[in-house]
Structure 1
Amino acid sequence: MNTLSSTLWPWMALAGLGAFHGLNPAMGWLFAVALGLHRQSRGLVVLALAPIALGHAVAVGAVLLAVIVFGTVVDATFLGRGAGILLIAWAATHTLAGHRTPLRIGMQTGLAGLALWSFMVASAHGAGFMLIPALLSLCVSPGMGGELTASTSVPISFVALAVHTGVMLAVIGAVSLIVYDQGLAFLRRGWLNMDILWSVALAGGGIFLLAG
């Protein structure tokens, strides 16, 4: 892998995972559509996207922060291996039981409740853990002595979180408005099984970290 591709792939992965999270109904667009249809308001669909993105960003950001904190006191190789095992375990848990324990919230919730719901769903699905391979690739490199330091990792993590959340917000907004305008008949024509793809993505990230 040349220098340019090794520099770009983590950012492309962050953007791709943002799009993937945005496409997943469990991450919030289905709730935004349902809320808009319930109150007959297209504007509410758009307004609901802000707390959904905020809750998701906080959940993901908490994981990235934990990685940085542990990475400054734990060997980067050990951290990567541990994160890989955790990702694979999370994938197995999600495959076996994740979709059987949905988090519920009523249509009368406010924006604060929606943000809290988004945070809980993203945390329960392990959304932040998916970003660990890309984050470690950005923060730990031969040019940095193979070590993870807070002075370089914190700014990179903020940018990574902004890229990921920005792409997710764009995708979730587009999907929400399309489904709202088309009606629920759009969903009856078929939709990908995101549970399976989600588990595969988690396991793939874990295998990448263990093989790296």
Structure 2
Amino acid sequence: MTTLTAVLLGAFHGLNPAMGWLFAVARGLQERDQGVVLASLPAIAAGHLASVAVVALAVGLTGSLVTATALTVLGGVVLVGFGLWRLLSDRHFRWVGMRLSHPQLAAWSFLMSSAHGAGLMLIPLFTGLHAEGRSLRGGVEVAALHTLAMFAVAGAIAIVVYRVAGLTVLRRAWFNVDRMWALALVVAGGLTLAQA
């Protein structure tokens, strides 16, 4: 169940343009090169993995269920609070430009994944692994599976959008997933608090 949940949440993260596929498409369209889209995706996935791994390691290194429970409650409160802030806020995260090196792109992905609560959403999985006594290795495996699913979905969407739609269709037809993402954070936070 933990593996399936990690993969499904990774796929959900991959759907979200804020997790990087839109940035990869924009870079590819700017350079008029599909190779730029493909080359951007591993750096984006590496940043996402780092963001999720920080949370996995924090839970895995606690060493006690009391600390893990405190992290669960704290994570749940942060998820609900951050989700409510995103639901009620009109502000959107901005970045300075499109011309980034791959390390800069990975750093951008780390910041965006962290700011959007990507690792926090997995706290119930990480604390469950901790309770089972396989927190560190299991947490790394969950983070890797989660990121692979995110990478696969984001990559597929990026290529389809780049080759078929381009940004003009996105301007006309794409709905804003920020509200859906914020609601998902609130729900995940509520579930986290219910399990604590």
Q: Quickly say closer, same or farther: Cα 1:41–1:156, change in 2 above 3 A.
A: same
1:23 aligns with 15
- Give the counterpart of 2:37 among 42, 45, 48: 45
1:3 aligns with none
TM-score w.r.t. length of structure 1: 0.84
2:156 aligns with 174
The reply on whether 1:134 has 2:117 as its aligned counterpart is no
**Cα distance in structure 2, aligned partners of 1:137 and 1:69:** 14
**Cα distance in structure 1, aligned partners of 2:183 and 2:63:** 25
**Structure 1 SS opposite 2:174:** coil
TM-score w.r.t. length of structure 2: 0.90
**Structure 1 SS opposite 2:173:** coil
The reply on whether 1:92 has 2:84 as its aligned counterpart is yes
**Cα distance in structure 2, aligned partners of 1:153 and 1:138:** 5
2:186 aligns with 203
Identity of aligned residues (%): 43
Note the aligned Cα RMSD (angstroms): 1.8
User: Contact conserved, 1:51 with 1:111, CA < 8 A, in 2?
Assistant: yes
For residues 35-74 of structure 1, what are the structure 2 equivalents within 5 Å? 35-70=27-62, 72=64, 74=66
**Cα distance in structure 2, aligned partners of 1:199 and 1:73:** 28
**Cα distance in structure 2, aligned partners of 1:101 and 1:185:** 21
Give the aligned residue type for 1:202. L
Segment of structure 1 superposing worse, 194-203 or 171-180: 194-203
Q: Any unmatched runs of 5+ in structure 2?
A: none
User: Contact conserved, 2:86 with 2:179, CA < 8 A, in 1?
Assistant: no
- Give the counterpart of 2:101 among 93, 103, 110: 110
Which structure has the bigger radius of gyration? Answer: 1
Q: Quickly say closer, same or farther: Cα 1:23–1:113, change in 2 above 3 A.
A: same
1:33 aligns with 25
The reply on whether 1:194 has 2:177 as its aligned counterpart is yes
Q: How far is 1:80 from its partner? A: 2.5
Q: How far is 1:73 from its partner? A: 7.0
User: Contact conserved, 1:105 with 1:117, CA < 8 A, in 2?
Assistant: no
Q: How far is 1:127 from its partner? A: 1.0
